[in-house]
Amino acid sequence: MNVVVTGASRGVGLEIVKSLAKAGVLKIIGISRNYKQLCELKEVCSQLSMTEFIPIQYDFQQITTSESKLAGLIKQHMNHIDILINNAGTMVNKPFEQTSADDINRLLTINYIAPALLIKNLLPLLKAGQAHIVNITSMGGFQGSMKFKGLSHYSASKAALASLTECLAEEFKMDGLVFNALALGAVQTEMLAEAFPNYKAPVSPEQMGEFIANFSMNGKTFFNGKILPISISTP
């Protein structure tokens, strides 16, 4: 099984990779800006199983000017993809009236445009593997959920990715591709601590990473085009 995980160097992404390695996945590509942490994760994976972990350093803020570059790097190591987990994301916590155009552009680029372009450029490999594409969104972007001051554009960018998930599931259902989105609630990550400094989440990155890894391997049997809320708390 070939798996690609973005945002793999820390938090939930790192734990997804570790859980996949424990499950015996043969080859995992992990993508992040932080190459040092990816190399450390490679060593961890080698201790957990026979998994081949391939680190790729890439800054998703650059994807609009180099959208085919990342896909080209991935194609050097894989001729098909069974699972793509779009986990990379960023957050800006500012009142709406203080948010700059640069803030909005960064949120939309990393949280929506980057996964969209990555999917587009990996379509030949995804179709070859009849892949399960798992987009990691947020309860902040889940329609009808409680919203929080300062996270308007973050929530909107995650809502856009969720809507894209539904659309692509319909567009590519005849190609054997399965698209689902997991709208995560509070997980005790660095990103959560930045947004809610005094809040202690009920779920650890290890717990969520294990859940997402299991869902990515088994969820396509039961779900397609679904946005699934994964939360036991507010936020």
pLDDT tens digits, 203-219: 899 999 999 999 999 99
Which pLDDT value is given to residue 188? 81
The lowest-confidence range among 2-16, 18-32, 89-103, 139-153 is: 139-153
Average pLDDT over all residues of the chain: 94
Pick 42 or 145 by higher pLDDT. 42
Q: In the structure, what pLDDT confidence band is assigned to residue 181 with cuts at 50, 70 and 90? A: very high
Q: What is the mean pLDDT of residues 58-86?
A: 97
**What is the per-residue burial (b if ≥16 Cβ within 10 Å, else e) of 12-34?**
bbbbbbbbbbebebebbbbbbeb
Residue 76 has what pLDDT?
97
Would you say residue 128 has pLDDT above 90? Answer: yes
Confidence band for 166, pLDDT divided at 50, 70 and 90: very high
Torsion (CA) 31, 34, 38, 41 in degrees, nearest 10: -120
- Note the pLDDT of residue 148: 86
pLDDT at residue 161 is higher than 60: yes
What are residue 158's phi and psi, to 5 degrees?
-75, -35
Main-chain dihedrals φ then ψ at residue 176, nearest 5 degrees: 85, 10
- Whether the predicted pLDDT of 234 surpasses 80: no
> Is 6 or 196 the better-scoring residue by pLDDT?
6
Local confidence band at 189 (pLDDT 50, 70, 90 cut-offs): confident
- For 97, counting Cβ atoms within 10 Å of its Cβ (0-12 exposed, 13-18 middle, 19+ buried), the class is exposed
Query: How many angstroms separate the CA atoms of 201 and 186, rounded?
Result: 5
Check whether 196 has a pLDDT greater than 70: yes
Q: What is the pTM of this model?
A: 0.95
pLDDT at 105 over 70: yes
Cβ count near 57 (within 10 Å): 15
Indicate if the pLDDT at residue 192 is higher than 80.
no
Domain regions of the chain by residue span: 2-230
Handedness of CA 183, 189, 191, 193 (dihedral sign): positive
Rounded Cα–Cα distance for residues 60 and 189 (Å):
20
Q: 35: pLDDT confidence band, cut at 50, 70 and 90?
A: very high
The per-residue pLDDT for 235 is: 57
Q: Considering the domain 2-230, what is its CATH architecture?
A: 3-Layer(aba) Sandwich (3.40)
Please check the confidence at residue 29 and state whether its pLDDT lies above 70: yes
Task: Please report which confidence band the pLDDT of residue 19 belongs to, taking 50, 70 and 90 as the band edges.
Answer: very high
